[in-house]
Amino acid sequence: MPTVANASAAELIEMLYGRAIRDLEGAVELFALQGEPRSQADAIHLIVHAQQIVAELNHSLNLKDGGVLASNLARLYEYIQFRLTEAVSKRDVGPVVEVSKLLSDLREAWKGAALNLATTEERS
């Protein structure tokens, strides 16, 4: 995996997805330590960081030229933000697991799309 400094736009998006997923997986582990107040605070910190990443992904969408795909992603990112806010307010791990799965699916779709684009460009 390239570093941020020399990554393409597609690789940067993949990195953002990966970091948000790692944050949420860490939050799930910390939520499991229910008796420790510090672990709950650390879990919330990780969730908030994942929310910041999703906000950046949403901000990077080109809604003018991106058509239906960009609009659908914007709605999905809004849903993800809602579920993570719910997880924090209710101290509930369920939405965190759900969002982690959604982001993993998005990352895999993104990787596939980027690979297809690269292959198409090589053939041209």
Q: What is the pLDDT of residue 123?
A: 65
Flag whether pLDDT at 117 surpasses 70.
Answer: no
**Domain ranges for the chain:** 4-123
Q: What is the pLDDT of residue 26?
A: 97
Whether this model's pTM surpasses 0.85: yes
The tokens for 112 are 């596939």
State percent of the chain over pLDDT 70. 92
Each residue's pLDDT tens digit, 43-85:
999 999 999 999 999 999 999 999 999 999 999 999 999 999 9
Q: Report d(CA 27, CA 99) in Å as an integer.
A: 12
Q: Could you tell me the fold of the domain covering 4-123? A: Four Helix Bundle (Hemerythrin (Met), subunit A) (1.20.120)
Contact 47, 24 (CB under 8 A): yes
Contact 20, 53 (CB under 8 A): yes
State percent of the chain over pLDDT 90. 73
| Mean pLDDT, rounded, of the chain | 91
Structural Rg of the chain based on CA atoms: 16
